[in-house]
Structure 1
Amino acid sequence: MGTLDEDERSTMTDIERYVRAATRDNTRRSYQAAIDHFETQWGGFLPATAEGVARYLADHAEQHAVSTLRQRLAALSQWHISQGFPDPTKAPLVRQVLRGIRTLHPTPPKQAAPLLLQHLQTAVQCFEDEARQARECHDLTTLRRARRDTALLLLGFWRGFRGDELARLRVEHIQAEAGVGITLFLPRSKGDREALGVQHRTPALKALCPVSAYLQWIEVAGIAHGPVFRKLDRWGNLSDTPLNSNSLVGLLRRMLERAGVPAALYTGHSLRRGFATWATANGWELKSLMSYVGWKDAKSALRYIDSAQRFGELAVLPASQVHNLIP
């Protein structure tokens, strides 16, 4: 049996690298966890049969939501296709079992609470107070933490970013001008099916401004390239690597708790939902909201919008302060 020469091995390495780059890190991790659950924890065999997959679904119908089971099926489907095997998850038996589970075990979709504008204002004011006191005491650690957390909250809210998008922002892909606006380029995004990259723009605001918050953070952090949002240790040292998107939920809650904001219901999607709900309460049309955030279909947008009545007066920021945000 022949062996691969050096050029062939190099080509295979390149192919594997590009194939890996085509899948988001979070998706790759969740798919691997799903395969491990099927094979190791449940004791399934790969390649699987339609009957085996159907039994797996039935055994977990009462423990897991349908959305979780769909994610497990997607992982199994991807594994079989990538290995060159027939996909058992598309068999009529599997589809019927999943439909039956959805009928007998209906579960309302879990959604993150939208970050209320009042809570955003409270947190930002707290961080501004921390920054002012830190400057007076020459406390670089506290100053950096306050500036980072302010920028993360305001960019995440006004741009409607998910946690993984905030984690992937890089300084070299951002252009910001005080009093004017900020342009942010994401080479990869969940809605960017062609992997062409997406460019986002946000103007400077008179209040709760994401542009000034970003510039103040970059200045005090002293970074000119690499990840925008990074881990800070207790001594104020910055990591070279970005924040892990999976750790952003805990970080967001700690930030809000530090400001005295009830944070238990908030997750990494709360910034996105908060902006969508605020925009709806302030008269944005659905088409404008979809264009600004980057949703391709109305169903995706509507899942993020709470009724304006629930948001109430807490959603309103004077129009004179944010009129130029509306597309």
Structure 2
Amino acid sequence: MKKSVIDRRSMRNVSPQVQQYLQASLSDNTRRAYSHDIEHFLAWGGRIPATPARVASYLAHHAQTLSYATLCRRVVAIGRAHSIKRLPSPAHAEMVKSTLHGIRRTTGSAQRHVAPVLLQDVKAMVKDMTGMKGARDRALLLTGFAGAFRRSELVMIRVEDIQFVDEGLVIRLRRGKTDQAGQGRDIAIPFMRGKSCPVKAITSWLVQSGISSGALFRSVDRYSHVTEQGLSPQSVALIVKQRAEAIGLDSRQFSGHSLRAGFVTSAAKSGASSWKICQQTGHQSEAVMQRYIRDSHLFTDNPLGKIR
């Protein structure tokens, strides 16, 4: 409680510089998500300030239509909206906590898992790509898979972040989901045999597009002109869905995260060690990454195969 009082006092009469750093404490994606969460709450009939009973009613109303993870994020956003205005947060009320707990016990907390884009899928997707958009999408998909990038990380890559070396190339990721401090890390993309080499795809894209600096992956207009505007994370998801549908897959099962999930799954199936996979993906813990590995081994040594 004492810490909360100190925090509220420290928020009074803050300078523009302090406000700027407070804004930087959250990523752009997080701020957009919180803004959407608050808009959804207000559109339902909520208000700021909100009572614990009102927030609990909101949670109960959407318990069957929104995931448990989404509801938890909505509570965090509502709580933050109160903290900014130096108001008591209903997010800490026992009624709200108990309602969330009851929803979890009733509906479960499992998150939706997208289908992974496996290596054979990526090869099929990029096989017959042509034109400027084809060159971009080819480089995007192969790089996203080989580097196990999140969609937000893919659109963050700049030409200045790429270093070509004898073994392939190294991409300097300036910031990631688990690296909000911006320490950055290097991701190695080696040469691959055949026509699905991400290094050759990036080289070809740079030559065809004429890009020499700035965002690596950019919008291409209907006249095949490469614009100055970089792709958004949502664009990456749409490209994955479009290319999945083009090879006969159900696009509803795929998203921008499918490339990252596909790398982990494919690497696990090939026998790569967990720590080497984490080195590529940037996972701070093997706990999340192990889920993909367990899924990939569901049919390995399955006891039913031993039954004659």
TM-score interval, normalised by the smaller of the two chains: 0.7 to 0.9
Instruction: Please tell me whether residue 201 in structure 1 is matched to residue 188 in structure 2.
Output: yes
Counterpart of 2:268?
280
8 Å contact 2:69–2:109 — kept in the other structure? no
**Maintained 8 Å contact 1:77/1:89:** yes
Name the SS of the counterpart of 1:126 in structure 2: coil
Aligned-partner Cα distance in 2 for 1:157–1:288: 15
Q: Does 1:295 align with 2:297?
A: no
State the shift of 1:217 in Å.
0.7
Partners of 2:115 and 2:109 lie apart in 1 by: 18
For 1:33-44, what aligned pairs fall within 5 Å after superposition?
33-39=36-42, 41-44=43-46
Give the superposed CA RMSD.
2.2
| SS at 1:240 equivalent | strand
Identity of counterpart residues, as a percentage? 34
**Once the two structures are superposed, what CA deviation does each residue of 1:161-218 show, in whole Å capped at 9, x if it has no partner?**
11111111111122124x5222212222101142322322222222422111111111
Q: Distance in 1 between matches of 2:178 and 2:149?
A: 12
Find 1:23's aligned residue among 13, 22, 26: 26
Letter in 2 for 1:50: P
1:55 counterpart residue number = 57
1:48 positional shift: 2.2
1:171/1:311 CA distance change after superposition, 3 Å? farther
SS in 2 for 1:67: helix
Question: Distance between the aligned counterparts of 2:90 and 2:290, measured in 1?
Answer: 33
Give matches, 1:82-231, under 5 Å.
Answer: 82-106=84-108, 108-127=110-129, 130=130, 142=131, 144-177=132-165, 179-207=166-194, 208-231=196-219
Give me the whole-angstrom Cα distance separating, in 1, the residues matched to 2:161 and 2:20: 22
Aligned AA (2:188): R
- TM-score, scaled relative to structure 1: 0.80
CA separation of 1:160/1:50 partners in 2, compared to 1, >3 Å: closer, same or farther?
same
Do the aligned residues in 2 keep the contact of 1:162 with 1:269 (CA within 8 Å)? yes
Distance 1:262 1:36, change over 3 A: closer
User: Structure 2 CA distance, aligned partners of 1:98 and 1:119?
Assistant: 39
- Whole-angstrom CA distance in 1 between matches of 2:58 and 2:246: 43
2:88 maps to a residue whose letter is: P
Distance 2:22 2:210 in 1: 35
- Taking structure 2 as the reference length, the TM-score comes to 0.85
* Equivalent residues of 1:273, 1:305 under 8 A apart: no
Aligned to 2:259: 271
Deviations 1:98-157 (A, max 9, x none): 010111222642111011222211122212xx3xxxxxxxxxxx1x22211111011100
Q: Is the 8 A contact 1:176 1:215 kept in 2?
A: no
Gaps of 5+ in 2: 1-12, 301-308
Contact 1:281 1:311 in 2 (8 A): no
CA shift digits 1:235-258 (9 cap, x unpaired)? 111121211112222222223334
Q: Secondary structure at the match of 1:63?
A: coil
Structure 2 CA distance, aligned partners of 1:97 and 1:145? 48
Residue 66 of structure 2 aligns with which residue? 64
Partner SS for 1:307: helix
Amino acid at match of 2:173: L
For residues 202 and 299 of structure 2, the distance between their equivalents in structure 1, rounded to whole angstroms, comes to: 27
Q: CA–CA distance in 2 between the matches of 1:234 and 1:280?
A: 39
Alpha-carbon contact 1:163-1:248 (below 8 Å) kept? yes
Does the residue aligned with 2:169 lie in a helix, a strand or coil?
strand
Q: In 1, Cα distance between the equivalents of 2:102 and 2:254?
A: 32
Corresponding residue for residue 5 of structure 1: none
